Amino acid sequence: MQRCNFHTHTKYSDGTDTPQEMIEAAIGFGFKALGFSDHSYTHQREDYPMSIEGQKQYRREIRALAEQYKDQIRVYCGIEQDAESSLPGREYDYILSSVHELIYHGEFYPLDSSEALHRNAVETLFGGNYLEFAKRYFYLLTEHVIRQKTDIVGHFDLITKYSLAPEDHPEYADAALEAIREIVKHCNLFELNTGAIARGLRTVPYPAPFMVDEIKRLGGRFIVNSDCHYRAKLTCWFDEAEKFLAAHGFVKDEHADLNDVVKDIEIWR
């Protein structure tokens, strides 16, 4: 089983546990590394993203805990950077880039907060045309990854969370594959995200198998992330993920580098 996770949320954003509780759980699972990635500040929202001051406190606490636990586990301070957030500085060890909402005339339309809000975004912004919605989402994610100094591409096809996406439609596949082909030129590390499995919403991870195959063909890599919001699910579907990636031709490198700061972790090539 993989012994690291780099998509981890705490009470600083929409997680249920403190950073220390999450670290203790990771140690219990035999982890050698844990990366925190709470949600970046977005000035239009006050529900789950961190505030500006919250981000400062978050960084201070994670750095202090990294020092406290350095003889037991390597702890990294990352950020899940949303498309609508200001560009981060050099204060984080890594950036995980994600798109969670669309904006129209200053109004936020969440994509993954609930099925009702998800449907509302598609209906309000695209007249119920899911293909146009999907095309817009993949375009925004591509643009976001390019704009950031992205280290990990977050839950690539998040819009399948409620099983409403027309995944079998050729235009949907074309939009997704076009995005992958452009993104991999700028960041070739994608996450195999098991978060929807942990929530009981899906039985398979993000991204879809045909997308995984295209990422493999283009020389992309994967890191398995549980998108953890509560520590009991920190390793959700990790054993199954190893079999899944191996079946798609990936081989695990147990001593890979994520970037110049995060080194010697498990990444699939």
The pLDDT assigned to 163 comes to 95
Cis previous bond, 166, omega within 30: no
Res 242: pLDDT: 97
Looking at residue 90, its pLDDT comes to 80
Residue 71's pLDDT is 98
Q: Looking at residue 193, what is its pLDDT? A: 98
pLDDT at position 83:
87
Closest CA to 199 of 169, 155, 150, 138: 155
* Cβ within 8 Å of residue 169, ≥6 positions away: 131
Please check whether residue 234 is in contact with residue 29, taking contact to mean a CB–CB distance below 8 angstroms: yes
Domain boundaries, the chain: 4-268
What is the predicted pLDDT for the residue at 155?
A: 98
* Ranges in the chain, pLDDT < 50: none
pLDDT at 237: 98
Those residues with Cβ within 8 angstroms of residue 239's Cβ, 6 or more apart along the chain or in another chain: 1
Residues 196 and 206 sit within 8 Å (Cβ to Cβ): yes
CATH superfamily of 4-268: Metal-dependent hydrolases (3.20.20.140)
